């Protein structure tokens, strides 16, 4: 059984650029959630996708967008990068969109915006 994988591991961008982060969910999971974890903080929920539809969204501006593909892998896109977007971006998959479901986290993508 393959766990949650994320790519790339590290990324450096400059302010104003766009970035795409990728996540492959655990085998058999149809739900993917994305989180932003700033240094020294807890993860903040960005959004969740369940069977290719957005299933909930946190307090993030529209320049944070996502996609989920038929194989349930997912992308997080961030446009017009700002310095405050520097963070660890975590992806988590689960077997359904339920609130009590166990989420399995990937190792994250460390984004640095200069």
Residues of this chain that bind another protein (CB under 8 A):
4, 33, 35, 40-45, 48, 55-58, 90, 92, 97-100, 102-108
Residue 78 CB, shortest distance to another protein, in Å, is: 19
By beta-carbon proximity to another protein, the closer residue of 75 and 97 is 97
Pairwise CA distance, residues 33 & 52, whole Å: 12
Residue 28 CB, shortest distance to another protein, in Å, is: 17
By beta-carbon proximity to another protein, the closer residue of 13 and 45 is 45
By beta-carbon proximity to another protein, the closer residue of 70 and 100 is 100
By beta-carbon proximity to another protein, the closer residue of 44 and 95 is 44
Q: Would you state the structure tokens that stand for residue 16, as one six-digit string?
A: 């104003």
Residue 24 CB, shortest distance to another protein, in Å, is: 13
Q: Which of 92, 94, 39, 84 is nearest to 64 (CA)?
A: 84
């Amino acid at each position: 059984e393959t766990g949650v994988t994320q790519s790339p591991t590290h990324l450096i961008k400059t302010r104003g650029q766009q970035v795409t982060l990728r996540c492959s969910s655990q085998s058999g999971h149809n739900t993917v959630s994305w989180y932003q974890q700033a240094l020294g903080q807890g993860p903040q929920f960005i959004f969740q996708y369940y069977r290719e539809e957005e299933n909930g969204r946190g307090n993030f501006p529209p320049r944070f967008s996502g996609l989920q593909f038929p194989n349930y892998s997912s992308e997080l896109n961030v446009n017009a990068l700002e310095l405050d977007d520097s963070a660890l971006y975590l992806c988590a998959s689960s077997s359904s969109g339920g609130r009590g479901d166990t989420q399995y986290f990937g190792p994250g993508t460390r984004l640095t915006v200069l």
